[in-house]
Structure 1
Amino acid sequence: MQRRRILFILFLIYFVFAILLNSVGTVILQVINNYGVGKSAASVLEGFKDLPIAIVSFLVASFLPRLGYKRAMLIGLAIVTCACLAMPLVPGFATAKLLFLSVGVAFALTKVSVYSTLGLIATSRKHHAGMMNTLEGFFMVGVLCAYWMFSFFIDSSDPASRSWLNVYWPLAALCAVTFVLLATTTFDERLAALPAERTPAQDFAAMLKLFFKPLVCIFVVTAFLYVLIEQSVGTWLPTFNNEILKLPAAMSVQVTSIFAACLAAGRLSAGVVLRRVHWYPVMNGCLVGMAAVVLLALPLTHGVIANPDVTWFTAPPAAFLFPLIGLFMAPIYPGINSVMLSSLPPHQHSAMTGLLVIFSALGGTTGSLVTGYVFGAFSGHTAFYLTLVPIAVVLVMLFFFRRAVEGASGGEVSSMNCPR
């Protein structure tokens, strides 16, 4: 029962952060409409979210086992509760920057702690893989809910309306409830204890040494490129729907929820698929599927004419086809994470997750900034066609990742149950 309670709280924490982290695309659209901010300027919100994640993870990941995973998660939840309250109380572009800065700092503490806690409560590699896929699937359920929550408060008839800021009241309440549940739950973190004779400086040095292992280096580069693709699409899809497909602001956000739904469905089902099929051909098939969706859907977005009476039944076909890229994208991230973390002892999970979070954050920022620049300077079509480049590179990197995994473990990791 205690393990189930902990797992439920971890899922709830991830659900909360999923809503906050992936609201950046919606907030970008709203600050453009509300505050007269340009696309390039608005794209820095992704940086305010992701760069603190990278910096804080780099500084504290090796130290978190000493601080305590539970204590780190409580600090993160307290930070985002205050940030959510600030949004409607002090509206402005600067407050939006502060929100995502706070979310970034808090998520750095939380993600490392959540991933490391999974390693503590997992009973086997198969169990770890199942929890990892379910956790990431639950994260995408939160993303899906975020689109609908925000769209409910958006007034499409008045783009300048600030009624959308009222969404932060229930979000603050959800953060507070999660804080209370976590505070009243007991955690056993003894397996994650670091050697008492080792200093924090030595802990930090051990994390850096971990990065220079060939397997880890290939892994973090692959994760960087994957997140670059996912954030490029997820962050700018609401604006793409609004400007290229001529959908109303609220509907642009709602239609983007199809992308999140596909990611959720793909990740929740990935645990079943990967227990029966080797992870490598699954990942390759997913990358080919992603490229196929891009090449099939984007030509359908040309020449769309604005329709003030557009509905879900009259929306352009591309509005429903392009988000299906999420279905193929979904298994990649939890799949490679499970392969990597399951090959390490629990006391190294914090350091490894820290490296993962750092490069994931950098990938998200890079993807958003590059896509925002290309979107503004050229077109949304060009911006999304460019995702084919990192897709091709990830395909190559997975080949080397598999070789490194098998070389480092004598084939043990690639043949174990968890990534199948």
Structure 2
Amino acid sequence: MKHLGIKLSLFLIYFVFAALLNSVGILVERSQEVYGVAKKAAAILEPFKDLSIAFISFLIGSFLPKLGYKKGMLISLALVFIGCVSMYFANTFWAVKTLFALTGMSFAVVKVSVYALIGYVTDGKDDHSKLMSLIETVFMIGIIFMYVVFPLFYSDTDPNAWLQGYLLMAVIIAVAFCIILFSKFDIQVGQNDRTIGQDFSAMFALFKKPMIWIFATFAFFYVMTEQGIMTWLPTFNKETLHIDAKLATQVSVLLMISFALGRFITGIIVKKVKWIYIAFTGVVLAAVLVLVVLPLAKNVSVTQISTIADLPLVSFLFPLIGLFLAPLYPLVNSRVLSSVDKSDHSSLAGMLTFFSATGGVVGSLVIGFMFDKFGGDKVFYLSLIPLSIIFISLFRLNRLTR
């Protein structure tokens, strides 16, 4: 297979960072349970992660090619290795914040690298969309791994046993580092003689295109919706549906499975069905699911649920929203990236990562602050607002990327 080493590296590093980044939902619940922090304090974990992503992606996108994509990914893995080991030995809420800050900064470099490299190892828009969907599928598999494996370390007798999960992650990160270190990146990435200031000017020049503004709007509101649901689903399961803490985290994996399945299917059908039809269908079905399924959360028994057999229907149905949201992000990102010159992919990926990260911050904070005010059975209705904006953005992007 052409560029096999690079593609394997992209899959592997996305798996690692998916597991770390999206453990924020687990850590929100763990921080309340183990460190005794309030919901509002726990909600700050998302900004520690996403603002770090936003800040670094804004700086790195224009000149990462000069540093080198491979070197950037190796530095990122080294930083999160340190974060995982520190988490195990420090065992404080500040260690959690530090871990997510390091993970956020590192992921900014990784995401820009991955999104830029896709353009160099694919031929044509359909091939680009397919690989993008497959990489995003691997991202969701990484999240599934975290949500399935991490709770296995929970213990009723040892309150610190769950930290052993970070030693496991440190080992996986070390393996990923070695594989990428010895992988051959057999491509020629175009270099330029511009200064850093000129690189920034070229990046900002992209905003002269209306398509970029609409793309930024889509990225912000999509990730706002996705992260708001993903981060607070374990808490929703535990407090609104009265599911035992360990089972509440494990059943949340259904959302990640839905995302992974949705993106895998998208990668298969994108060459046969127009991307815009897939995207429109996903938005509409996601909104319908919110309106139909969330009312079921009102009628859940207040007794503590600790077995799979006793799980309420809504705990199985609401995570299906991932199936419908899944195609949107890789499809739109691929469509826009493949509509500009490859030399602009790194800068555009940096902007995409910036707006995605800020959207994630807003989504998590809004749900976190509104959870107690509205109640878990009502707070996710707020997702209908960004879904409406996404729907409108898709219309415009379809016209501008033709």
TM range (shorter): over 0.9
1:360-407: CA deviation from partner (whole Å, max 9, x where unpaired): 00000100000000003331123201111111111111111112223x
Pairing partner for 2:180 from 179, 182, 195: 182
Aligned position for 1:286: 282
Distance 1:186 1:141 in 2: 25
What is the aligned partner in structure 1 of residue 95 from structure 2?
A: 95
Post-superposition shift, 1:138? 0.7
Q: Distance in 2 between matches of 1:378 and 1:76?
A: 39
Asked if 1 retains the 8 angstrom alpha-carbon contact of 2:56 and 2:108, the reply is yes
Contact 2:130 2:270 in 1 (8 A): no
Q: Does 1:35 align with 2:31?
A: no
For 1:130 and 1:309, the matched residues in 2 are separated by 40
Once the two structures are superposed, the pairs formed by residues 311-330 of structure 1 within 5 Å of their partners are 311-330=307-326
* Alpha-carbon distance in structure 2 between the residues aligned to 1:243 and 1:362: 27
Distance 1:89 1:271 in 2: 41
Gapped regions of structure 2 (runs ≥ 5): none
Q: Which residue of 2 aligns with 1:149?
A: 149
User: Could you say what secondary structure the match of 1:313 adopts?
Assistant: helix
Are 1:66 and 1:193, in contact at CA under 8 Å, matched by a contact in 2? no
Q: Pick the aligned partner of 1:366 from 355, 362, 368.
A: 362
Report the counterpart of residue 244 of structure 1 in structure 2: 240
Q: How does 1:10-409 map to 2 (within 5 A)?
A: 10-155=10-155, 157=156, 161-190=159-188, 192-196=189-193, 198-308=194-304, 310-406=306-402
Question: One-letter code of the match for 1:207?
Answer: M
Letter in 2 for 1:165: L
Q: How big is the alpha-carbon RMSD for the aligned residues of Structure 1 and Structure 2?
A: 1.3
* Structure-1-length-normalised TM-score: 0.93
CA distance in 2, matches of 1:343, 1:188: 24
**Partners of 1:211 and 1:355 within 8 A in 2:** no
- State the AA in 2 paired with 1:101: A
Equivalent-residue separation in structure 2 for 1:123 and 1:382 (angstroms): 45
Residues 14 and 135 of structure 2 are in contact (CA less than 8 Å); yes or no, is this contact kept in structure 1? Answer: yes
Instruction: Give the aligned residue type for 2:210.
Output: P
What is the CA-CA distance between 1:40 and the residue it aligns to? 0.6
| Higher mean C-alpha deviation, range 76-85 or range 270-279 | 270-279
SS at 1:186's partner residue?
A: coil
Alpha-carbon distance in 1 for matches of 2:396, 2:186: 37
Shift of 1:212: 3.0
Q: Distance in 1 between matches of 2:106 and 2:345?
A: 19
Aligned-pair identity in percent equals 43
Which shifted more, 181-190 or 102-111? Answer: 181-190
Residue 309 of structure 1 deviates from its aligned partner by: 5.5
Residue pair 1:224, 1:362 contacting (<8 A) in 2 also: yes
User: Within 2, Cα distance between the matches of 1:309 and 1:218?
Assistant: 44
- Between stretches 331-340 and 119-128, larger displacement belongs to 119-128
> CA offsets, 1:201-234, max 9 Å, x none?
1111101111231011101111111110000110
Letter in 2 for 1:299: P
Could you tell me which amino acid in structure 1 is paired with residue 395 of structure 2?
Answer: F
The answer as to whether partners of 1:25 and 1:235 remain within 8 angstroms in 2 is yes
Q: Matched residue pairs, number?
A: 402
Report the CA distance between 1:126 and its aligned residue.
2.3
Residues 168-195 of structure 1, C-alpha deviation per residue, up to 9 Å, x if partnerless? 00100111111111111121452x3232
Once residues 195 and 266 of structure 2 are traced to their aligned partners in structure 1, the CA distance between those partners, rounded to angstroms, is 40
Distance 1:2 1:131 in 2: 13
Secondary structure in structure 2 of the residue aligned to 1:242:
helix
Aligned residue identity for 2:69: Y
What does the per-residue CA deviation read over 1:84-139, in whole Å, with 9 as the maximum and x for residues that have no partner?
Answer: 00111011000000000000000001110111111111133322211100000110
C-alpha displacement of 1:281: 2.0
* CA distance in structure 1 between the partners assigned to 2:2 and 2:229 by the alignment: 38
Shift of 1:2: 6.4
Take 1:189 and 1:361, find their aligned partners in 2: how far apart are those partners? 29
AA of the residue aligned to 1:183: L
Counterpart-to-counterpart distance in 1, 2:119 and 2:143 = 24
TM-score of the pair, normalised by structure 2: 0.97
Residue 310 and residue 36 in structure 1: after superposition, are their counterparts in 2 closer, same or farther (change >3 A)?
closer
